[in-house]
A and B are shown apart, each in its own frame.
Chain A
Amino acid sequence: MFVYFTRRLLYLIPMLLGISFLIYLGLELTPGDILSYLLPPEAIADLKPEELIAMREALGLNDPFIVRYLYWLGGILQGDFGYSLASGVPISKLVLERIPATLELSIAALLFSTLFGVILGSISALKRGSLMDNSLTVFGMIGVSIPEFIFGLIALVVFALQLEWLPVGKRLMPGYDSYWDHMPHLVMPAMVLGLIMTAGVMRYTRSSMLDSLNKEFIRTARSKGVPEWRVNFIHGLRVALIPVVVLIGFRLPMLIGGTVIIEQVFQWPGIGDLFVNAVRGQNYPLVMMISFLSVTAVLFASFLIDLLTALLDPRIKLE
């Protein structure tokens, strides 16, 4: 198993290289060159063609594609992620600034949805057909089918504008800087995101649990005379959790990549917000870097899912 996972981890390297190449190729295919983003149009108009060529040469823009790619890749490997075209600030600094906000929102939503999704899903499965189950099913369908920005906007109107219980958006008010001061700001985006994600986990847990409760080993457990909670949770839920862990695992990249829509609705200064602004401002180096980080997160999450399912399900043989 150790050998398998070491190998699995090593496979990530060629995959990441391939993806970095594709991302760089994507940039190459976009129209225009870096100079047209770096310099205002008036400045370009004032420059003589020889001067432009000289600048291109100086920036290495005339080198063959593969040379420029390797140069970019070499930079990443040395921790040089490049600079934002909009502000000239190093990208690593920009991303690191946004990471705490993204982590805060994602962790809150992930914990909330995992905990409540599994609990409510199990209750739903155990009390199948009851009023509780039916209301949870309705909630689940709403959560799965209504887009998150609509939820976000409704929550904003109700809790921020009408009831005025919570601030409208942003992470911190001017003048406040202690950690607890921004908790009121976190509540609404975390709840909206968390509730929507809960719906998915809940539906999934319910069907997985119903499936496992119908298995014969449940009857075996009952035939031993153990208490019902043990039959339902130690036997039923334990087996039902394996696919649920996969679902939750696929949400882990959110920790790095952020959530574009919710961060926009609540003006939450996370990576998702940074990404949208970078796309809008045609800030290609930044777009490339965030894409690359998100993809890396996805690859690591899938590695982690493999590891977790192997730990949870002894039937999985890894050679």
Chain B
Amino acid sequence: MSADQKVLSVKDLKTYIYVNNRCNKALDGVSFDVYRGKTLCVVGESGCGKSITASSITQLLPKLSRIESGEIVYHSERGNIRIDQLERNGPEMRALRGAEISMIFQDPMTALNPVYRIGSQISEGLQYHSKNTLAQLKQTSIDLLRQMGIPLAEQRVDDYPHQFSGGMRQRAMIAMAMSCKPKILIADEPTTALDVTIQAQIFELIDELKQRHNTAVILITHDMGVVAELADHVAVMYMGNIVEQGTVDDVLRHPAHPYTEALLKSIPILGKGKQQQITPIQGSTPDPYQRPKGCQFEPRCPYATERCQTFPDSQSISATHDALCWHSEKVLSHA
């Protein structure tokens, strides 16, 4: 993995959310890299910081939250850009959004403006990031819709979002995100609001676009099946930390963190029949305002020892594989 293929590197990112005079350390030191033409899947349960990671990269954070420290570096063709140092809605940040880094959201119904036509919403970003006439913009919208596999794109381009089905709306969202041929596509649980039958189509579409345009994809999901199918790299998050990351093979076949191991054991596998053993993760996620002192997973962890009272250092398993656990060797051999 040579460094020139890196498009985004995040180092020790800390994003805190302030609510009711309390501070939720939503991201507490997150580091990862994203490579050109590769898919990074970020998995973890609700509230672990997946979405905050995504919105930190585009600085689309909630109002009362802030990037406290760390680096987000975008390796553009013009050189490196420190995203964390840009003004939140300032001109430099806006020049990146949509054009270089774009996003797809969870629910395409609420993410599209109900009062504007699909076509104008798709080309809105393009209108600001390039010089085009209105006729060109409309033609681009039609072409994009057609590429997304929407039949009769010439007619559908003038429809309103409520005239589209759920799957078509998400395709329109993807068309919108791809309109400026971004280098990075962040998809924040893009199929959670969709029918199971549509999910596979949407993922296929994202994967096809990634290959065609050599786009880096950050896919946030909690579907392990999707991870196995699409991911090149996987980052497992728990309570604001990436507890384990590596290639798909590393993480799914040789989990080195007890949380990853527990997560994999808790998923039923199709075809194994009704007799298969599904082990739920013991206990529940701690209150973000009353966190465990050391390792965040310690209270629920079967491997926990005295040592886990201190926050673990990142343990390198291989060149591509890291885990945030004192006992990663033990977990590895157990699996």
Report how far A81 CA is from B5 CA in the complex, Å.
Answer: 85
Q: Are B115 and A313 in contact (CB under 8 A)?
A: yes
If the complex has contacts A216-B110, A216-B111, A219-B60, are A315 and B160 also in contact, measured as CB distance less than 8 A? yes
Instruction: Choose from A223, A225, A239 the contact partner of B128 (Cβ within 8 Å).
Output: A225
B96: Cβ under 8 A from any A Cβ: yes
Interface members, chain B 160-180 (any A CB < 8 Å): 160, 162, 173, 176-177
Report how far A222 CA is from B102 CA in the complex, Å.
Answer: 10
Q: Are A224 and B125 in contact (CB under 8 A)?
A: yes
Residues in A with CB closer than 8 Å to B96 are 225
Q: Are B128 and A217 in contact (CB under 8 A)?
A: no
Q: Are A312 and B115 in contact (CB under 8 A)?
A: yes
Q: Are A222 and B115 in contact (CB under 8 A)?
A: no
Instruction: Choose from A216, A224, A227 the contact partner of B176 (Cβ within 8 Å).
Output: A224
Query: Quick one: closest A residue to B102, CB to CB?
Result: A223
Residues in A with CB closer than 8 Å to B176 are 220, 224
Residues in A with CB closer than 8 Å to B110 are 215-217
Q: Are A216 and B105 in contact (CB under 8 A)?
A: yes
Report how far A216 CA is from B114 CA in the complex, Å.
Answer: 11
Interface size on B, residues (CB 8 A): 30
Report how far A216 CA is from B169 CA in the complex, Å.
Answer: 14
Q: Are B98 and A217 in contact (CB under 8 A)?
A: no
B267: Cβ under 8 A from any A Cβ: no
**A23 CB to nearest chain B CB (Å):** 40
Q: Are A225 and B97 in contact (CB under 8 A)?
A: yes
**B110 CB to nearest chain A CB (Å):** 4
A177: Cβ under 8 A from any B Cβ: no
**B73 CB to nearest chain A CB (Å):** 19
Report how far A223 CA is from B160 CA in the complex, Å.
Answer: 20
Q: Are A225 and B94 in contact (CB under 8 A)?
A: yes
If the complex has contacts A216-B105, A314-B160, A315-B160, are A223 and B60 also in contact, measured as CB distance less than 8 A? yes
Report how far A235 CA is from B177 CA in the complex, Å.
Answer: 17
Report how far A313 CA is from B89 CA in the complex, Å.
Answer: 29
A238: Cβ under 8 A from any B Cβ: yes
Query: Quick one: closest A residue to B94, CB to CB?
Result: A225
Interface members, chain B 107-130 (any A CB < 8 Å): 107, 110-115, 124-125, 127-129
Of listed A217, A226, A313, residue having the most chain B CB within 10 A = A217
Residues in A with CB closer than 8 Å to B269 are none
Q: Are A222 and B113 in contact (CB under 8 A)?
A: no
Interface members, chain B 172-190 (any A CB < 8 Å): 173, 176-177
Instruction: Choose from A220, A227, A242 the contact partner of B112 (Cβ within 8 Å).
Output: A220
Query: Quick one: closest A residue to B179, CB to CB?
Result: A224
If the complex has contacts A239-B114, A314-B115, are A225 and B95 also in contact, measured as CB distance less than 8 A? yes
Interface size on A, residues (CB 8 A): 21
Query: Quick one: closest B residue to A241, CB to CB?
Result: B115
Contact mask for chain A residues 205-247; partner B; CB cutoff 8 A; 1 contact, 0 none: 0000000000111011111111110000001001100100000
Residues in B with CB closer than 8 Å to A222 are 60, 89, 97
Residues in A with CB closer than 8 Å to B115 are 238-239, 242, 312-315
Report how far A314 CA is from B158 CA in the complex, Å.
Answer: 12
Residues in A with CB closer than 8 Å to B102 are 223-224
Residues in A with CB closer than 8 Å to B231 are none
Instruction: Choose from B58, B128, B162 the contact partner of A226 (Cβ within 8 Å).
Output: B128
B324: Cβ under 8 A from any A Cβ: no
Query: Quick one: closest A residue to B55, CB to CB?
Result: A219
Report how far A59 CA is from B102 CA in the complex, Å.
Answer: 81
**B170 CB to nearest chain A CB (Å):** 12
Q: Are A223 and B113 in contact (CB under 8 A)?
A: no
Query: Quick one: closest A residue to B93, CB to CB?
Result: A225
**A21 CB to nearest chain B CB (Å):** 41
**B178 CB to nearest chain A CB (Å):** 12
Residues in A with CB closer than 8 Å to B93 are 225
Q: Are B103 and A217 in contact (CB under 8 A)?
A: no
Q: Are A226 and B113 in contact (CB under 8 A)?
A: no
Report how far A224 CA is from B93 CA in the complex, Å.
Answer: 11
Report how far A193 CA is from B176 CA in the complex, Å.
Answer: 46
**Chain A residues at the B interface, C-beta cutoff of 8 Å:** 215-217, 219-228, 235, 238-239, 242, 312-315
Q: Can you list 8 pairs linking A and B with CB atoms under 8 Å apart? A: A217-B113, A219-B60, A222-B89, A223-B58, A224-B97, A225-B98, A226-B128, A227-B128
